[in-house]
Structure 1
Amino acid sequence: MIESENSTSTHLVVCVHGLWGNPGHLQYLVDQLINKYGNSISILNAKCNLSTYTYDGIDICGDRLVEEIHEKIKSLEDDGIKITKFSIIGYSLGGLFSRYAIGILYKQGIFNEIQPWIFTTFATPHLGTISKISKAIPKIISWASPRILSKTGEQLSWIDKYDGDASLLSVMSDPNRIFFKALELFKYKRIYANTLNDRTVPFWTAAISEVDPFEESDKLILSKNKKYDVIIDSVLLKEDHCKNTIFNMAKYLLVAVAAPILAPLWISFVGAIYVQALCSQRRVQKIIENRVVNNVVDDKNNNDGKEKPRDFSKIASSVERENIEAVTNFISKKPKLTSASSSSSKSESESSTTESYNPELYSSSDFPLVPLIDIQRESCNNLNKISFQKYMVHIDGYNAHAEIVVRNKFFKFLAGKKLIQHFVEESFVL
């Protein structure tokens, strides 16, 4: 955390980690922002939803985040520092916590006094998960989410009832609701979506897209950004393509060899998550009961988002999760894509801003249509009415979901570091 010591005004930047997360997951990003902008910004690396508390629901976690933001604002104001701009960066599930939190802040009138500046997400499941899918690993994830991730899993699966029969993600993408209106207010809206090697949050949901060109990656030719080759500027279909059968055979052989080793890890990991989910369900029930007793209700009934934060001292071990996530992505890893030099006539410095991404890509009939359910498709269409700048991220590694924000400092994550450099130098604006 850094505060502006020599000035009377500051730009507040809030960073929000994802599922099972902790502030350390975004520490590399925080460090790079501090190195670049120093005392021009104040950073809150949120810690109110550590580890298994992320199971409690996007709304409950969002309320905690709002309270932590208020505490930071008060701390700065007590030091005589005026906040003039507000930006928020969400990683993975933290992007949904962020979308909920800004809706509550909007309702409270915060943005009448502080300018909403940059809203950014990295690998965030904006469209949740889906069950109408044939591939094994994504289907398992979609099946398991509502069963082992408590209230959060239900919301990601669109089976919750937040307002009447409407699910929370549906409400959050409704143009007439506070969450959508708050998002529209931000001057800059950025989305970073992994194209490959992210089975936790696939491209279509991170990019808010009805199509996923990268489902058949062997058919594609990529045009990478000249300065930041981890960013894809455009995607073209090959005229002729053939499947990499050798790679597929090697992949299936790896699955056969790895299965006996991974099975015990999977069993212990899923068992631990199930126990944590039960604890979350009890915790959520107590929160709901306290709201009834204290006459505190949610957004649809004028919620102020002022639930008191808890003192979270325990962070669950993430070793098994990191290993399983990495192996899962490796097993599902697709053949390398063919890359091509950009055909743009812009200079290298001009093309590095990657402002000429393909908006047609997200609805092109040339690419496979994602089997969204009706409310997901409606939410997708609504959210795409907002002018997001979308970046297609190409990380040729085993675990792009972790690498996109350099989540683990013990790995080199060279592509992730280059992506963070792009965000700090090109996307972030004081």
Structure 2
Amino acid sequence: MAQETAGKADHLCVLIHGLWGNPSHLSYLETALREAYPADRLHILLAKSNAYNHTYDGIHLGGERIASEIESQIKTLSDSGTTIRKLSIVGYSLGGLVARYTIGLLYATGLFDTIEPVNFTTFATPHLGVRTPLVGPHSYLWNVLGARTLSTSGRQLFLIDTFRDTGKPLLAVLADSSSIFIRALQRFKHRSLYTNIINDRSAVYYTTSISKTDPFVDLSAVELNPLPGYNGVLLDPEDPVKPKQLPQLSLLERLKVGSMTTLQSIPFILLLGIAVPIGSVLFLLNSGLQTFRSAQRVKLHESGKAGIGIEQYRIPLIEEARAGIGRVYAGMAGDVGEEYLPTPSETDEDDDGDDKPQDGVGTSTADLKGGDEAVTKRHRGHQGQFPTLALTHEQFEMIENLDAVGFTKYPVHIRKVRHSHAAIVVRSRWRPGFDEGKIVVGHWVQGFEL
């Protein structure tokens, strides 16, 4: 962890890892940032208080740990004669949600009255949770079991929790327009996110991009618009994709294509038939153990015996809190519903170029409160041509409120690896194929304002 105390730097950048992660997962981000900004220009904190299985303990508890870690780092620097005047936060995967909780606490405790929030960025963060909108037994099983195998964090990610006295899931509270978390986001000068369009099996496109649609389900049916100068890895945030006019296939041709797809899938299906039963048993056994250990850590934390003074963080989360208006969650996971909504909602029917915010990539609003340069790029024209996913009521509300704050959204097209979730931040710099992630990180560093 870099804890530079010398030089004239007055800007602190905090990097927060994801689920089951550790600080080394973001070492490439730290290195790339350090190469651009030496120690006398920028302080870097690789947050460590949520490492490994501590990420089971809940987004809120992780946020309290990170807030305490940041305040401790600022005090350490101050004691050495360095005054921090600017703050940037970067979250990867679950770390992006922890970051959103953290900044709400820092805002509420008054830190932003003396320190300017500058850059807020997430990489592959499931802002809308990880509940799948798809139908079928596999999706249903995922929504039910997944929520119950990651302890508190799992329930929060699948939106089946009720957070404290709000009557709402934690992720809905994070995106409530009257919450300290949204007000904290608004204070940042720049807000951006990077979202994988394919091959991210941990956090899929719709949730990491805060979108009602997923235009990238079938890449053969769309035309991608790359951002010039990035080898096709980054798409233009203003106009990333449009539907492709496909030729009509005969019945025989469609059967041929379907047969080839099935044949190509056989080896993978056979592998799953062997690996999944064994892996599932081991995973469930470990989940039970980690859930028990997490409960013990949470109890220690809540009692104030974990070394963190939590009293300062137990503050009203929502102004004029509307307790009890959340949905009822009983036993099963969320709404399973249809894969796509049968008809577009009224807010989707705005492709005529008016000033309504568009869903999906590059949404903006006319009422941004985050500083003179906090302007989010708008994507017009094509999102309404893609079907709306069957998300929950809370997820649609989250999209509306987060888009009202405004993010610049960068779709990322990583092709060389089958699991782009790790590649987007170059979690292992020696892994073959992760060089496309280095392009993403390079773009982020170029846009980082000191």
Question: Are the equivalent residues in 2 in contact too, given 1:221–1:237 (CA < 8 A)?
Answer: yes
1:240 to 246, 255, 261: 246
Structure 1 gaps, min length 5:
304-354
Pairwise CA distance, 1:7: 3.3
Question: Are the equivalent residues in 2 in contact too, given 1:194–1:202 (CA < 8 A)?
Answer: yes
Task: Please give the residue correspondences for 1:24-63 in structure 2 after superposition, counting only pairs within 5 Å.
Answer: 24-39=24-39, 40-63=41-64
Equivalent position SS for 2:20: coil
- Cα separation, 2, equivalents of 1:387 and 1:222: 23
The letter of the residue matching 2:404 is K
- Cα separation, 1, equivalents of 2:390 and 2:312: 35
The letter of the residue matching 1:240 is L
- Cα separation, 1, equivalents of 2:8 and 2:186: 28
Question: Are the equivalent residues in 1 in contact too, given 2:91–2:125 (CA < 8 A)?
Answer: yes
- Cα separation, 1, equivalents of 2:98 and 2:418: 26
TM-score (norm 1): 0.81
- Cα separation, 2, equivalents of 1:260 and 1:231: 36
Task: Please give the residue correspondences for 1:369-388 in structure 2 after superposition, counting only pairs within 5 Å.
Answer: 369-388=388-407
Pairwise CA distance, 1:218: 2.5
Question: Are the equivalent residues in 2 in contact too, given 1:9–1:84 (CA < 8 A)?
Answer: no
Question: Are the equivalent residues in 2 in contact too, given 1:191–1:391 (CA < 8 A)?
Answer: yes
Equivalent position SS for 1:196: coil
The letter of the residue matching 1:372 is L
Question: Are the equivalent residues in 2 in contact too, given 1:142–1:157 (CA < 8 A)?
Answer: yes
Pairwise CA distance, 1:359: 2.0
- Cα separation, 2, equivalents of 1:270 and 1:281: 16
- Cα separation, 2, equivalents of 1:302 and 1:194: 31
Task: Please give the residue correspondences for 1:5-404 in structure 2 after superposition, counting only pairs within 5 Å.
Answer: 7-39=7-39, 40-134=41-135, 139-162=140-163, 163-228=165-230, 229-233=232-236, 234-240=240-246, 245=258, 246-290=260-304, 296=311, 299-301=314-316, 359-360=379-380, 364-396=383-415, 397-404=417-424
Equivalent position SS for 1:118: strand
Relative to 1, partners in 2 of residues 1:295 and 1:54: Cα closer, same or farther, differing over 3 Å? closer
- Cα separation, 2, equivalents of 1:123 and 1:295: 29
TM-score (norm 2): 0.78
- Cα separation, 2, equivalents of 1:135 and 1:366: 25
The letter of the residue matching 1:232 is L
Relative to 1, partners in 2 of residues 1:85 and 1:296: Cα closer, same or farther, differing over 3 Å? closer
Q: 2:443 is matched with which residue?
A: 422
Question: Are the equivalent residues in 1 in contact too, given 2:426–2:437 (CA < 8 A)?
Answer: yes
Q: 1:311 is matched with which residue?
A: none
More helix by share: 1
Relative to 1, partners in 2 of residues 1:6 and 1:23: Cα closer, same or farther, differing over 3 Å? closer
Structure 2 gaps, min length 5:
319-374
Q: 2:425 is matched with which residue?
A: 405
- Cα separation, 2, equivalents of 1:129 and 1:227: 32
Number of paired residues? 375
Relative to 1, partners in 2 of residues 1:358 and 1:254: Cα closer, same or farther, differing over 3 Å? farther
For residues 253-308 of structure 1, give each alpha carbon's deviation from its aligned partner in whole angstroms, at most 9, with x where no partner exists.
421244214432332133212321222123323433459xx9948544589xxxxx
Equivalent position SS for 2:380: helix
- Cα separation, 2, equivalents of 1:90 and 1:383: 16
Question: Are the equivalent residues in 1 in contact too, given 2:426–2:438 (CA < 8 A)?
Answer: yes
Relative to 1, partners in 2 of residues 1:411 and 1:135: Cα closer, same or farther, differing over 3 Å? farther
The letter of the residue matching 1:155 is Q
